[in-house]
Amino acid sequence: MSDQLAIVPDETGVSSLATLLELYTISEDDIRRIRSFGDIIVPQLDEFVRLFYEWLKKQPEFEEFFPDQETLTYVQKMSRNYWEEFFRHELNDDYIQKRHKVGETHARIGLPLTIYFAAMNFSLKVVTEELYDDSLPLEDYVLAVRAVTKLVHLDTGMVVETYTRMTQEAMTAQSRSLMEMSTPVTQIWEGVLFLPIVGIVDSRRAQEIMNATLAKISQSQSRAFIMDISGVAVVDTAVANYLIKVTKATRLMGCECTISGVSPAIAQTIVELGIDVGTVKTTATMQDALLDAFRRLNLKFGGGR
């Protein structure tokens, strides 16, 4: 077992086996006791599956995640394999990856962590109490249960770590998609871009607006950009400064920006805040901004010049 304790972290940042064993204080003696205790439990895993799924059928999540007998049979087989690996598999990189796969599976199907923790707690009770045959001296039994519990905690920790990471990645991707949807820079006429902004503008969204706008200008070679803020919920110093930065950046790319939808209340707020709007062009309505852009670009309705 000594060579297993020397595994180093990989490039992905996933905890190495050596780090995990140290974190959960799993010694070589613990590993030996887990293997020995497995000699008692593994022959009874069919009984374990029966007891576990009797318990699971009483949980409200059962109907949702096991809609048919085929699914149930497959998952029961996977459960048996899981615990056989728990007691028999060498603690190596493959074991670690298998546990991370369990976390990925739970995250993909959306299994609540609450029921996962409850299931692991019940499973630990079954393997250390209900399936135990009283064949070990009391001291050896206590040490074996302690070792098994440590490995259960390690397994659970890896599953939760992967589950949490995947959930966060999904939320980030969803947030990014919503952010992209909330910054629909659209070419409404030859050389004219339009972006309606609705809701709250924070630093992150402001950066997305900047990125989307500059990318669209580069792609379309547009020379006029209208940013309508009539739907912006709050205009404070930060929001005003963000908007000014966007106008300056577009000007550097040869595209003149006009901020439309400046209501009397917004105008008064900007003045009271003492914000220097400099040469930023503003209009009260989007129609005014569009007419101004057409005049500057010498455009006529119908696309002609």
CB 261 within 8 A of CB 228: yes
Output phi, psi for 259, to 5 deg. -95, 115
Q: What is the pLDDT of residues 183-235, one digit of tens each?
A: 688 888 889 999 998 877 777 788 888 888 999 999 999 999 999 988 887 77
Burial zone of 256 (CB within 10 Å; 0-12 exposed, 13-18 middle, 19+ buried):
middle
CA separation for the pair 171, 118 (Å, rounded): 25
Average pLDDT, the chain: 85
What are the beta bridge partners of residue 224?
192, 256
Tokens 């630990």 locate to 124
> What are the boundaries of each domain within the chain?
2-178, 186-297
Q: What is the pLDDT of residues 34-80, one digit of tens each?
A: 999 999 999 999 999 999 999 999 998 898 888 889 989 999 999 99
Q: Which residues contact 93 (CB under 8 A, 6 or more apart)?
A: 7, 17
**pTM tops 0.75:** no
CB 215 within 8 A of CB 174: no
Backbone dihedral region of 7: left (phi > 0), alpha (psi from -120 to 50 degrees) or beta? beta
Domain 2-178 has CATH 3.40.50.300: no
3-class DSSP state for residue 136?
coil
Please state which CATH class domain 186-297 belongs to.
alpha beta
